[in-house]
Structure 1
């Protein structure tokens, strides 16, 4: 983090003239986000159940920029977690959302802090620190549990050319949803990590209805990945439209991938070259929206040579003297469902979702959706067994208070029912209940 603090010192020592200080401070925002989270996972055919309840507090200070040709700023973040319920037997040592003690129970409290220095020139912005939360096709920060995942490194975003957004950078570490420390990045199944995830790309808004995307990413010694995307919205009437969303990923092995410690387990499925990344994945989604309701249908096809790949945190169980579960990486496909991933070699997944906004019937702030995924043609891990299948039904209800003293208070209920079918993976019901509220001081 030396570069981040160097930029911070420059901000404080050189940039803050009397006039500049007004923009740095007057444009600042200070907020306290609270999240109360209940999680219940019921494994019907094997494996331990998980049942936990916890509270999180997240304090964010977002500064403005100093005046001048180059403006400087600083973002600060502090997070505290409090475990409320869920003892031994209901708290897994890994893949949880709270750190673990040596006896297998959850830590009662934990905390972390971070900072990101930033600079702005014309229509470009650079950030370096450990509170980054990128949302890109090749790198998606996860915020699906108690605390958000944050990344260490630097990013630059440029909008110098109208309708074109360019992004690039290097990620050097990641702090998971149940950790107070950063670690390197890796892939599922590997025991080694990397502190060099390079990426670049951009989005071109051709016109108001069409957006084209291209991104490249490289996780050193693991994989290289190219992404192409197209999003088109066709207006039909004043209150109806048809959206097309096409996504293509091409992933190949890099450096030491496949060697001991750098091997990828292909999400538990087949690999033509065991331990090596070798994958092509297509996804298509079509959404018809009419008034307050929408219907989405789509399909994802994973190539036969190996499973889809995305980066994850390195395994840090006992690395810092306590178990800090690092699970919870997201990826840019609808297959990233509540329970399952639907991303193994040969898997062809058909899916659909119906969504309804109740504002049209007098209940503003209330939304609901139900989705179904069915993955078939999964190649058995040995490459010789019969093709396998799996399925999942997900429901979601969101409500955000619109007026009154509780304005901005939000509730989200998510439930997923996963059936492993012929894969041998345990059937599972998973329920997540969130209560969110953010108080803005500035």
Structure 2
């Protein structure tokens, strides 16, 4: 392990706790602390319908989180610690692909039997502002999302400041310097899809303003040095209709441009395998509109995402680290803030216009509390051919999801998720797939 080593974790812990805290400060630090163990059992099956190798993996993850309170005083100090352990249960060589985002790889191409990592972050609180610095950060922002769709979650290293000094306004700024992938124990630099160089400076700032109780406005700016700059505007409005019905409007706009060395050897963006007006360069505008009508236990969501013709939608990725067997170290697989971030496809190439529909049902009113189901359909058209001259391409995907969480009794909080996805492409180069995921989650809180 690199920056997530156990020795570094405990050294940081000792430094923080030993800052001359008074007895009362230590008491407050401990009284508000939380310790929990999250268990995740995950079966992942990819049935490749285009002739490539299938992927079958089954594994268990243990995540131990210690989140301290803050010491008393004008500036409160705290510490967050995380330990991760993974166990490979089944799959083995032949079912573990060279490009993977599920389990770390051995030198012979098989999945590692066991692996572990640790992270630590110090934090401080002043008035209504908090700063976190270290590893294991899991932001959920329009311009940066830590993906949690595999056995272990992605995390980042750096610093994030969140301020709520102004009523109804949340301001966030920071700098991310490294990332740990969903299937890796090591931290890597930051990059974009297709690039071989990386950066250790992803800077961002923005805010969420709750203009009224039903309306939230957002603006964020982000810059990945030598790759891209990005502006985001968002609007979320919920219109109550009756006591059990509402209409939600969700609008998202991204404008991304080239920065620094972008386009030069090693810094080129592959535009998600699609067309680029200026090869290797980032130049994109993406609109997303989504409308959701909710009536009692049911909701219907309809929307559209439009990607501009000049290049694909860009989002933060990681440097591609390859081991001696030619396999990557599981650093890929970041999420992004569009409704097209589906179970299998991404629907983010130049010119792509995607129509989206989703129907969801909550079974609580039928006497089955904790049971939810949904089915969604995405259809992407008008994708520009990578060479700019071929016929337009297309793709579609259908995703089905069932979630159940035990509501009472000794197993309260135990969750089960079953997901199935079907993906088909027309000229995009992405393999036709059937994907099945079965996930069990349970978190035990010690205090």
- Structure 2 distance, partners of 1:320, 1:133, is 30
Aligned length: 442
TM superposition shift of 1:423: 2.5
1:16 to 16, 21, 44: 21
1:267 counterpart SS class: helix
TM superposition score normalised by structure 2: 0.96
Structural mapping, 1:85-100, within 5 Å: 85-100=90-105
Does the Cα contact within 8 Å between 1:177 and 1:326 map onto a contact in 2? yes
Aligned to 2:167: 162
**RMSD of the alignment, in Å?**
1.7
The correspondence of residues 143-154 of structure 1 with structure 2, limited to 5 A, is: 143-154=148-159
Q: Report runs of 4+ in structure 1 exceeding 3 Å deviation.
A: 1-11, 319-323
Name the counterpart of 1:27.
32
Which of 49, 58, 62 in structure 2 is aligned with 1:57? 62
The answer (yes or no) to whether the contact 1:4–1:117 under 8 Å persists in 2 is no
Q: Does structure 1 residue 198 correspond to structure 2 residue 198? A: no
- C-alpha displacement of 1:87: 1.2
The Cα shift of 1:12 comes to 2.0
Judging changes above 3 Å, is the alpha-carbon distance between structure 1 residues 367 and 243 closer, same or farther for their aligned structure 2 residues?
same
Secondary structure of the residue aligned to 1:300 is strand
Q: Which of 247, 268, 271 is the equivalent residue of 1:266?
A: 271
Q: Secondary structure at the match of 2:426?
A: coil
Equivalent of 1:227 in 228, 232, 245: 232
Q: Which runs of 5 or more residues in structure 1 are unaligned?
A: none
Aligned mates of 1:11, 1:42 — CA distance in 2: 48
Distance 1:438 1:320 in 2: 36
1:58-79 deviation line (CA, Å, top 9, x unaligned): 0000000000000000000000
Tell me, yes or no, if structure 1 residue 296 matches structure 2 residue 315. Answer: no
Say yes or no: does 1:399 pair with 2:410: no
User: Which of 324, 340, 361 is the aligned partner of 2:329?
Assistant: 324
- List aligned pairs for 1:31-180, cutoff 5 A: 31-180=36-185
Structure 1 residues 324 and 387: CA distance shift in structure 2, 3 A: same
- Aligned residues of 1:93 and 1:325 also touching (Cα < 8 A): no
Cα deviation 1:344-387 (Å, max 9, x = unaligned): 00000000100000001000000000000000000000101111
Distance 2:252 2:20 in 1: 43
- TM-score when normalising by structure 1: 0.97
SS of 2:332's equivalent in the other structure is: coil
2:372 corresponds to 1:367: yes
Q: Secondary structure at the match of 2:18?
A: helix
**Of 315, 320, 324, which residue of structure 1 is paired with 2:320?**
315
- 8 Å Cα contact 1:33/1:439 also seen in 2: yes
Secondary structure, counterpart of 1:14 in structure 2: coil
